[in-house]
Amino acid sequence: MKREFKFKNGKKLEVRTIYGIGKNYAKHAAEFGGGIPEEPIIFIKPPVSYIENGGVIKLPAMSNNVHHEVELVVVIGKDCANIPASSAREYIAGYAVGIDVTMRDIQFKAKEKGEPWAVAKGFYSSAPISEVIPAEEFGEEIPNFELILKVNNEIIQNSSTKFMERSVATLIEYLSKIFTLEEGDCIFTGTPEGVGRIQSGDKIYAELSGFVTLNVIAE
């Protein structure tokens, strides 16, 4: 099955590697009793984790504590390797809002054992992503966005990307030096405080305030 980002201007781009950034907001790191790491924490979700607006999050039977994490998602528009932060904007195709759905209990067990987070973070339907706002709408700037997440119409997360510890440009520089970013890759840039449990039947709404929205259901 081919999975594609859908842009607000009608463009489409095949979903490739989904990179995630851990602990990129100080208040979220503090929620779990930690600080900001010296180096970015990177994890990867496969394309099969992607679902679009209106999709369904399939809650895995193996977990009793699945969490939502609202995030700015940056979609890469062309291949880049070893680029400086000052050139990062040239490689951005657009911006979206996403939910990093996480099996928190499975993640905690992995952390205790020093194991990877692939199962906790990369399962089917764990990466809902909205339509993509074309980067050219913002000129040569990489903008900040207000992030909102509601569960059953109640605001649970509400913050701004201006509070990220590492900027979008810094993250692109870092990832491009290790992996080489390619057209269709995307970056979940970290979540602010307020993460919480999702239960079957929950209606989840996420927004880059004033720009794009995402609606999904958990079951």
Lowest pLDDT segment from 26-40, 111-125, 132-146:
26-40
Residue 177 has φ and ψ, to the nearest 5°, of: -80, -20
**By percentage, how much of the chain surpasses pLDDT 90?**
92
Instruction: Report d(CA 174, CA 144) in Å as an integer.
Output: 19
Least confident segment among 22-26, 69-73, 154-158: 22-26
pTM here is 0.97
Q: Letter for the amino acid at 74?
A: V
Q: pLDDT: is 68 or 34 the higher one? A: 68
Per the DSSP assignment, residues forming a β-bridge with 73 are 96, 188
Q: What percent of the chain is modeled with pLDDT above 70?
A: 100
Mean pLDDT of the chain: 96
Write the DSSP assignment of 116-160 as a string of letters. -SHHHHHSTT-EEB--BEEGGGGTT-----EEEEEETTEEEEEEE
pLDDT band for position 148 (cuts 50, 70, 90):
very high
Average pLDDT over residues 60-70: 97
In order of their start, the domains of the chain are 4-218 (3.90.850.10)
Residue 63, CA distances (Å) to 108, 150, 199 in order: 11, 22, 11
What's the Rg (C-alpha) of the chain?
A: 16
Question: Is residue 30 very low, low, confident or very high in pLDDT (cuts 50, 70, 90)?
Answer: confident
Report residue 32's pLDDT band, with 50, 70 and 90 as the boundaries: confident
pLDDT band, very low/low/confident/very high, at 212 (cuts 50, 70, 90) = very high
pLDDT band at 36 (very low <50, low <70, confident <90, very high): confident
**The pLDDT of residue 31 is above 90:** no
